[in-house]
Amino acid sequence: MNRRILLAALAAAAAAIAIPAAAQQPKLKVGFMLPYSGTYAALGDAIEKGFRLYLTEQGGRIGGREVEFFKVDDESDPAKATDNVNKLIKRDNVDVIVGTAHSGVAMAMAKAAKDNGTLLIIPNAGAVAVTGPMCAQNIFRSSFSNWQPGYAMGEVAAKRGAKKVVTITWKYAAGDESVGGFKEAFEKSGGQVVKELSLPFPNVEFQPLLTEIAAIKPDAVYTFFAGGGAVKFVKDYAAAGLKKTIPLYGAGFLTDGTLDAQGADADGLLTTLHYGDGLDNPKDRSFRAAYSKAYNAVPDVYAVQGYDAAQMLGIGLAAVKGDVANKPGIASAIVAAKIDSPRGPFTIGASHNPVQDMYLRQVVGKDNKVIGVATKALADPGRGCKM
Ligand code: BEZ
């Protein structure tokens, strides 16, 4: 071999060695397990859009690895959840699962993720158990615990002078825990929850319960509903004539992503949530501009949570150079990070749930206008979590 050919061969070998390890890794397999049908279908759509937006901003790579997607529609059906999550874990052999919206489904996913050691990032479902007794090194939430917005609204309702409140929600973990958070803060401040009304998920036959509220005449009503059910509840509450006489307070899902369909019936409603319209921070401005350019739509809280799930994955995988097997490395990077979210910067607490401001919002036209911070840097208590 002459000298020139030898040098060229050496240069090529050196270039191959210089390629970062991550670039040689296989594609990162990301499994979306989300509701693409049913009352939470819009939530799944927004979560996926938010996640993909972050990926596009990163040139299609997370932790240096290209991404391949696998998708399962969980239908917000807990009875199908174990089979559905096993399609991603056992059939598709995914590296990470991103899902879901419904707390009952999320609990089955968390069990499977814990048993199999699969990385799980929950971009909505607030089931308290997942970052409580079921907490694990490989399980994270980019959203909230059901307790958080409820607790913040309990403080707000008491400050606004309510003494006797009726609660109304779907009878499953999200509704029960949202009401639990509300009740904890409200009763600590001297208020009383005089009646807890509920109906099965995703039932929307609200009329008999609204008649009961009218008869009780409480100072206010606190509610958790989301998606299609929230649209119908707000319209039915107004149609029953209650909006004029009994203030309706809610966890922010009541009016997030729903205002086009609720129209004037939502006007003026007060809710608490970790996102809202009119947050004047640079990250939110750039996120909203990019989201509406990409999808011709205004982002809601679910889009933010999907975006932040991708950011958290990016932070974790960057720290371990794309080595998804290194769960301790991923966990310590995510817990150490200050996440630059459109909601404002937040951190992930020891039980892997966001520690974040809860905003007080009021519906003005098509906006959930932020009118203040209800509770600053609120952390879920993480009761029962032993990491
Ligand atoms: C839940 O099931 O945890 C949930 C669903 C929709 C919005 C918020 C929470």
Q: Name the β-bridge partners of 33.
A: 72
Ligand 1 centroid to residue 148 C-alpha, Å: 12
Burial 270-308 (b: 16+ CB within 10 A, else e): bbbbbbbbebeeebbeebbebbeeebeeebbbbbbbbbb
The CB of 274 under 6 Å from ligand 1? The reply is no
Last residue of a domain, one of 273, 293, 315: 273
Nearest residue to 335 via CA among 353, 323, 317, 310: 353
Burial class of residue 318 in the structure, from the number of CB atoms within 10 Å of its CB (0-12 exposed, 13-18 middle, 19+ buried)? middle
Q: How far apart are CA 24 and CA 346, in angstroms?
A: 33
Ligand 1 centroid to residue 225 C-alpha, Å: 8
Ligand 1 centroid to residue 26 C-alpha, Å: 34
The CB of 169 under 6 Å from ligand 1? The reply is no
Reduced to 3 states (helix: H, G, I; strand: E, B; else coil), residue 101 is coil
Q: Under 8 Å CB-to-CB from 175, ≥6 apart: which residues?
A: 169, 198, 201, 224
Whether the model clears a pTM of 0.85, i.e. scores above it, the answer is yes
pLDDT of residue 280: 84
| CA-closest residue to ligand 1 atom 3 | 125
269/162 same-domain check? yes
Reduced to 3 states (helix: H, G, I; strand: E, B; else coil), residue 382 is coil
Ligand 1 centroid to residue 236 C-alpha, Å: 21
Half-sphere exposure of 266 (CA within 13 A, CB side): 27
The CB of 103 under 6 Å from ligand 1? The reply is yes
180/283 same-domain check? no
119/154 same-domain check? no
Task: Identify which of 45, 100, 103 to mutate to test ligand 1's pocket (most ligand atoms within 8 A of the CB).
Answer: 103
Q: How far apart are CA 121 and CA 30, in angstroms?
A: 10
Q: How far apart are CA 37 and CA 33, in angstroms?
A: 12
194/171 same-domain check? yes
The CB of 305 under 6 Å from ligand 1? The reply is no
pLDDT of residue 373: 98
User: Can you give the residue range of the structural domain that contains 239?
Assistant: 147-273
Residue 258 counted as domain residue: yes
The CB of 226 under 6 Å from ligand 1? The reply is yes
Ligand 1 centroid to residue 100 C-alpha, Å: 9
73/186 same-domain check? no
Reduced to 3 states (helix: H, G, I; strand: E, B; else coil), residue 362 is strand
Residue 253 counted as domain residue: yes
pLDDT of residue 7: 40
152/139 same-domain check? no
136/151 same-domain check? no
Residue 295 counted as domain residue: yes
Residue 366 counted as domain residue: no
Question: Which atom number of ligand 1 is nearest to the Cα of residue 40?
Answer: 6
Residue 361 counted as domain residue: no
Residue 380 counted as domain residue: no
Question: What CATH number does the domain containing 57 carry?
Answer: 3.40.50.2300
The CB of 324 under 6 Å from ligand 1? The reply is no
Say how many domains are in the chain: 2
Residue 374 counted as domain residue: no
67/94 same-domain check? yes
> Could you list the pLDDT tens digit for every one of the 387 residues in the chain?
444 444 444 444 443 344 444 457 899 999 999 999 999 999 999 999 999 999 999 999 999 999 999 999 999 999 999 999 999 999 999 999 999 999 999 999 999 999 999 999 999 999 999 999 999 999 999 999 999 999 999 999 999 999 999 999 999 999 999 999 999 999 999 999 999 999 999 999 999 999 999 999 999 999 999 999 999 999 999 999 999 999 999 999 999 999 999 999 999 999 999 999 999 899 999 999 999 999 999 999 999 999 999 999 999 999 999 999 999 999 999 999 999 999 999 999 999 999 999 999 999 999 999 999 999 999 999 999 998
Stated as kind and residue range, the H or E segment containing 315 is helix 301-319
Helices 173-188 and 103-116, axial angle in degrees (round to 10): 110
Q: How far apart are CA 247 and CA 148, in angstroms?
A: 21
The CB of 251 under 6 Å from ligand 1? The reply is no
pLDDT of residue 4: 44
Count of residues making up the chain: 387
164/265 same-domain check? yes
| Summary count for the chain: helices (H), strands (E) | 12, 14
Q: How many C-beta atoms lie closer than 10 Å to residue 379's C-beta?
A: 15
Last residue of a domain, one of 273, 289, 315: 273
pLDDT of residue 11: 41
Q: Name the β-bridge partners of 70.
A: 31
Reduced to 3 states (helix: H, G, I; strand: E, B; else coil), residue 136 is coil
Task: Identify which of 76, 77, 102, 105 to mutate to test ligand 1's pocket (most ligand atoms within 8 A of the CB).
Answer: 102
CB 127 within 8 A of CB 173: yes
307/334 same-domain check? yes
Half-sphere exposure of 250 (CA within 13 A, CB side): 27
| CA-closest residue to ligand 1 atom 9 | 125
Reduced to 3 states (helix: H, G, I; strand: E, B; else coil), residue 353 is coil
Last residue of a domain, one of 273, 303, 322: 273
pLDDT of residue 345: 98
153/265 same-domain check? yes
The CB of 109 under 6 Å from ligand 1? The reply is no
Q: How far apart are CA 253 and CA 248, in angstroms?
A: 13
Residue 15 counted as domain residue: no
User: How far apart, in Å, are the Cα atoms of 160 and each of 75, 156, 191, 219, 220?
Assistant: 38, 6, 11, 10, 10
CA-based torsion, 306, 167, 351, 115: positive or negative: negative
Ligand 1 centroid to residue 105 C-alpha, Å: 10
Query: Judging by DSSP bridges, how do beta strands 139-141 and 367-378 pair with one another?
Result: unpaired
The CB of 146 under 6 Å from ligand 1? The reply is yes
263/310 same-domain check? no
pLDDT of residue 24: 75
